[in-house]
Amino acid sequence: MTANSDAFRKLRRNRAALAALIFILFVIAAAISAPLLENHLFPSPDAQNLSDKLLAPSFDHPFGTDSLGRDLLSRVFAGARISIMVGFIATLITIMIGVTYGAVSGFSGGNVDNIMMRVVDALYTLPFIFLVILLLGLFDRSFLLLFAALGAVQWLTMARMVRGEILSLKTRDFVAAARASGASPSRILFRHLLPNTLGVIIVYATLTVPVIILQEAFLSFLGLTVPGQEHSWGALISEGLDAVNPVKIRWWLVVFPGAAISSTLLALNFLGDGLRDAFDPKSR
């Protein structure tokens, strides 16, 4: 049995991580299927009905309505599509940059490794969230820019983790055997070393998704949205707070979007912890 199959077998025994995975899959399925159910089970998130504005949760509107009479449940589902899409695509960008950079640095060693790691150290000193805000403020906002900006600020830790794994693995006997058999450096790196870092990559990717989702929500809360991002969970919370006052506490406008993002982040963190334990060789 391989180490990875043993890790996934152990993950299946972790009830908290398994429950978190089921919840995340449910959120993804709900986000994908929501457009197909619009106008059947619930209205479109953009449908306005001022006669139904600011209604408390009811049978017709389980999550209530907002100040324009839009159904909050459908808007939360629309926000799930945005948050999940941003979180996973930006994480994919993080993986592509971080794994490539860390693998090249660790495999090269010597002066190349030292120079590449000093660049990472220098980049760590930059306030990246402010750079993201600056990019969104200076250039035309689009999902492509949002993906690139959020993904490009999270790759540093990934690069360091992959580099550390490569440095450890390249001294193993199977690498020496591959060199003795005449394997090229690129073959050793991509066929022998990187597959053995899969556990670290999966674990860190799972922990990166909630960080990016939270950053996207923070940007939306500040009003730094892109076209099509109006239903983001962060934007919903910001709109809800604007409609809440001491006289009429319309709690549903904040509670339901907040619960959606909190439960999703919690599930992702539980899954990340479970994967970390499953891939930890000391716990096997």
The answer as to whether 259 is a domain residue is: yes
Mean pLDDT for all residues in the chain: 82
**What is the average per-residue pLDDT within 257-282?**
82
| Nearest in space to 175 (alpha carbons), one of 194, 162, 161, 159 | 194
The answer as to whether 112 is a domain residue is: yes
In this prediction, residue 101 has a pLDDT band, given cuts at 50, 70 and 90, of very high
Range of the domain at 105: 3-33+85-283
> Into how many domains does the chain fold?
1
Query: What is the model's pLDDT at position 5?
Result: 64
| Nearest in space to 152 (alpha carbons), one of 180, 167, 131 | 131
Residue 191 has pLDDT above 90, yes or no: no
The answer as to whether 233 is a domain residue is: yes
**What is the average per-residue pLDDT within 143-152?**
77
**What is the average per-residue pLDDT within 127-146?**
75
For the whole prediction, is pTM greater than 0.75? yes
Rounded to whole angstroms, the Cα distance separating 235 from 229 reads 8
In this prediction, residue 1 has a pLDDT band, given cuts at 50, 70 and 90, of very low
| 5 vs 98, more confident | 98
The answer as to whether 228 is a domain residue is: yes
**What is the average per-residue pLDDT within 68-82?**
88
Q: What is the CATH number of the domain that holds 92?
A: 1.10.3720.10
**What is the average per-residue pLDDT within 254-268?**
90
CA angle 197, 210, 99 (to 5 degrees): 25
Tell me 154's DSSP state. Answer: S
Amino acid at 140: D
